[in-house]
Amino acid sequence: MRRRDRVIITNATGRVTGIRGMTLLEVMIAMVILAVGLLGISGMQVAAIRGNSSGFKSTIAVSLADDRIAQLEDLGSTAVGFADLQLSIGTHDAGSIPAEDALIVGNMQYDRSYTVTAYQPSTDPANPIAGLRMVTYTVSWNENNRPHSATLTTWIGDPNF
């Protein structure tokens, strides 16, 4: 690549001519292109922050559900616990069991409920298997006026069965 030397020429009045540089118009166009690029990057940053916030709320919901499922599994590991009201067949929510009251974490309200059903095999749905219960635990919340939920399911067996 050849290097071009700049030649500085002065005219009869002493003014410098022959120097080439960027005009004001070229500088303005470059600034507009830079501004459009920066706006695009800032839009991606906002989307990333929203995604992180939504992911955080989902993680909280799954963690709440997982903790409560573990408590119910521990409760079901004893005969007395398996007969406990918390593992009775039906829907359990804030109105039926105080442990399921709504929980507020980081200005977000999480509503919790779970359903306990007897296991019904697909081969004979009319005859549920005694001593085996399916627990479906749901945590729900509203984010930007849109409902979200996380659901976990487990099986709990009667230790005396």
Q: List, for residues 93-142, the tens digit of each pLDDT value.
A: 866 666 667 888 888 899 999 999 887 776 776 776 777 888 999 999 99
- Is 75 a member of any domain? yes
Which domain, by its residues, includes 145?
Answer: 60-157
| Cβ proximity of 111 and 132 under 8 Å | no
Q: For the segment 138-157, what is each residue's pLDDT rounded down to a tens digit?
A: 999 998 899 999 999 998 88
Tokens 């749901």 correspond to 138
pLDDT of residue 24: 87
Does residue 119 lie in a domain region? yes
Q: Can you give the pTM of this predicted structure?
A: 0.69
In a domain, 78, yes or no: yes
In a domain, 49, yes or no: no
For residues 30 and 158, give the distance between their C-alpha atoms in angstroms, rounded to a whole number.
73
DSSP, collapsed to helix, strand or coil, labels residue 140 as: strand
Number of structural domains the chain divides into? 1
Question: Over 114-137, what HEC string results?
Answer: EEEEEECCCCCCCCCEEEEEEEEE
Mean residue pLDDT of the chain comes to 82
Which pLDDT does position 21 carry in this prediction?
Answer: 67
Would you say 102 and 109 are in contact if contact means Cβ atoms under 8 Å apart?
Answer: yes
